[in-house]
Structure 1
Amino acid sequence: MRVIFCDRVFDHKLIEPDYEDEMKAALRAGFVTSLFSFEDLSDGKVGRALRYVENVEVEELAIYRGWMLTPSTYGLLYHGLLNNKIQLINTPAEFKYCHYLPEYYQKIKALTPKSNWTVGQEMTNFEVINSLTDEFDNAPIIVKDYVKSEKHNWHEACFIPDASNKDNVNKIVEKFIELRGSALNEGLVFRKFEELEFLTEHSKSGMPLTKEYRLFFVFGKLVKLFNYWDEGDYGNTIPDLTPFFEVAKKIDSNFFTMDIAKKTNNEWIVIELGDGQTAGLPDNGNKEEFYMALNKNIRQHV
């Protein structure tokens, strides 16, 4: 088993510093590691990006751990490695599936806030936008794209207190589109706002943090549960995970994350899914335990 990491911009022999501890943990867990150039891959120079990834004699399964990729760029990485007989754990279709909320929404619908979205050029059509937000009546909602929100610009470009106030809806949507710019992913998503249980305030930004966990799954089985935030006292708040395990079995991905959160009424919900290769580990999370469990679960499957 191999883990593919990003190299350092100015030295291909060294790993990107943010992933150095992960590489050490992966090696101790029995993985082989390789480095590639994220910058060259982003520029479409696949051969150059992978020039230091060795060819293997027999086809080998691998995991990418690194920065967020668009589905198209992930496809370049996947097929480039496949030419070296290295197959990433998720196909491009599986990567896209957990990358874009509309792809997996039906599978988590019963456990996640009501959501709808624009398609194609509809994100600049305010008649369509107003029709979508009408479905929420006067409830509070948030706007995001298929992947990310502007939660750090909460009142200006994320939170809409009343979905029936179309002037405010349009103002916040316009600001969101402006701030996301060329980084906007695919289209707009509107989600019912849910009150989550307060955890603490972020020590730097002051943003209120809520009780959330990140669950990693491989081949439908739980690898590791992490506190989503490194700050705050979580106490003994881990819920019954059975409903989430049942949903995980239905997800069309071999390696993914599920973020869950506690509402103020004590109900637990799914916030979103993500591809396990680009989802971050908490700074204080036990990386050795993660890679040990990951290696064990993969070997049991293959």
Structure 2
Amino acid sequence: MLLVPADVLRPRRPDDHFAAEADAARAAGLTVALVDHDALAKPGGAEEAVRRVPSAGPASYRGWMLPAERYADFEAALAGRGVVLRTTASQYRRAHELPGWYADLAGITPTSVWTDGDARSAFEQACDSLGPGPAVLRDYTKSMKHYWREAAYIPEVADFEAAWAVASRFRELRDADFAGGFVVRRFEDFASAEARTWWVNGVCRLVGPHPDTPDELPAVSVAAAEPLIRELDLPFVTADFARREDGTWRLIELGDGQVSDRPVSVPPAELVALLT
């Protein structure tokens, strides 16, 4: 079974963003069930969110990003209906939040430090731990790279005042969606667009462009990442890579495949095939 968000105005139809995947899933013989994402995103709303899901059977989710706590509620509400999510709540958190995967993939991704919460003292301690130089800021789940100069790029982490101005703007923009704490990552120069790779049980099954650059697909090499991602033992993840100036392919981010966006240039049937 494939679970997708319902359209807010037409709750008996899939959200337009996931409608093509829902059609492809039906064509592949999967049952498609709709969930109420707005209810799912609220504490205590999971039972209401899954009321249209038929009982019993395994399921995968393709939908909007959820905080790890809300995903755990989702899993529990479905279990009450006899539905077992392919990705458990603990697996979702490990893939979805940088602190969950960083230690295992540290050798192929920019050096990172993070805080627990949004206190300035902890942020400055993290900057000091990373050491002087430029950095990129995010939280446990997301950056604000489209606000690069004001809320993502820190030219010099040793300049605590300027660095905190970036962190403050980031925190303001993330607002209620701020997840976990600040993550400060060493800046690296990249010479290619990103590629988004899709992994099932530790095997790379699909290589495509990143959603931000759907018409650019670099000839990515995932050889260095394969044994490391396999060891994570996660059922369905994405890994985004870019080529550094020195030619080395670097992991930009790992994510849970259920909530990773599909580039428009990747046919929905190709993605759905990974779930069958």
TM-score (norm 2): 0.93
Match of 1:221 among 177, 197, 203: 203
Matches within 5 A, 1:2-41: 2-41=1-40
- Asked if structure 2 preserves the Cα contact closer than 8 Å seen for 1:230 and 1:283, the reply is no
Higher strand share: 1
Quote the residue 1:118 is aligned against.
115
Matches within 5 A, 1:36-51: 36-43=35-42, 44-51=44-51
CA distance in 2: counterparts of 1:157 and 1:151, whole angstroms: 7
Deviations 1:109-136 (A, max 9, x none): 000000000124xx3133x322321234
CA distance in 2: counterparts of 1:172 and 1:55, whole angstroms: 47
Matches within 5 A, 1:72-221: 72-120=69-117, 123-126=118-121, 128-197=122-191, 210-221=192-203
Once the two structures are TM-superposed, the CA of residue 16 in structure 1 deviates from its matched residue by 0.7
SS at match of 2:13: strand
SS at match of 1:14: coil
- Asked if structure 2 preserves the Cα contact closer than 8 Å seen for 1:138 and 1:162, the reply is yes
- Asked if structure 1 preserves the Cα contact closer than 8 Å seen for 2:236 and 2:257, the reply is yes
Q: Which has the larger radius of gyration?
A: 1
Once the two structures are TM-superposed, the CA of residue 240 in structure 1 deviates from its matched residue by 3.0
Question: Over aligned residue pairs, what C-alpha RMSD do you find?
Answer: 1.6
Deviations 1:168-206 (A, max 9, x none): 112212222222222211100000011111xxxxxxxxx
CA distance in 2: counterparts of 1:223 and 1:233, whole angstroms: 19
Judging changes above 3 Å, is the alpha-carbon distance between structure 1 residues 165 and 46 closer, same or farther for their aligned structure 2 residues? closer
Once the two structures are TM-superposed, the CA of residue 82 in structure 1 deviates from its matched residue by 1.2
Q: Does 1:264 align with 2:245?
A: yes
- Asked if structure 2 preserves the Cα contact closer than 8 Å seen for 1:140 and 1:192, the reply is yes
Identity %: 27
SS at match of 2:124: helix
Unaligned runs of 5+ in 1: 198-209, 296-302
Deviations 1:18-70 (A, max 9, x none): 111111111222322111211222233333222211123xxx22101001111
Q: Which moved more, 1:139-148 or 1:34-43?
A: 34-43
- Asked if structure 2 preserves the Cα contact closer than 8 Å seen for 1:230 and 1:284, the reply is no
Q: Which moved more, 1:168-177 or 1:103-112?
A: 168-177
SS at match of 1:250: helix
Judging changes above 3 Å, is the alpha-carbon distance between structure 1 residues 124 and 10 closer, same or farther for their aligned structure 2 residues? same
Unaligned runs of 5+ in 2: none
- Asked if structure 1 preserves the Cα contact closer than 8 Å seen for 2:215 and 2:265, the reply is no
CA distance in 2: counterparts of 1:6 and 1:164, whole angstroms: 44
Once the two structures are TM-superposed, the CA of residue 231 in structure 1 deviates from its matched residue by 4.5
Quote the residue 1:67 is aligned against.
64
Quote the residue 1:241 is aligned against.
222
CA distance in 2: counterparts of 1:11 and 1:51, whole angstroms: 16
Amino acid at match of 1:144: R
CA distance in 1: counterparts of 2:39 and 2:131, whole angstroms: 47
Amino acid at match of 2:227: E
- Asked if structure 1 preserves the Cα contact closer than 8 Å seen for 2:63 and 2:258, the reply is yes
- Asked if structure 2 preserves the Cα contact closer than 8 Å seen for 1:78 and 1:91, the reply is yes
CA distance in 2: counterparts of 1:169 and 1:45, whole angstroms: 37
- Asked if structure 2 preserves the Cα contact closer than 8 Å seen for 1:223 and 1:290, the reply is no
- Asked if structure 2 preserves the Cα contact closer than 8 Å seen for 1:220 and 1:254, the reply is yes
SS at match of 2:174: helix
Judging changes above 3 Å, is the alpha-carbon distance between structure 1 residues 293 and 146 closer, same or farther for their aligned structure 2 residues? closer
CA distance in 2: counterparts of 1:89 and 1:289, whole angstroms: 19
Q: How many residues align?
A: 274
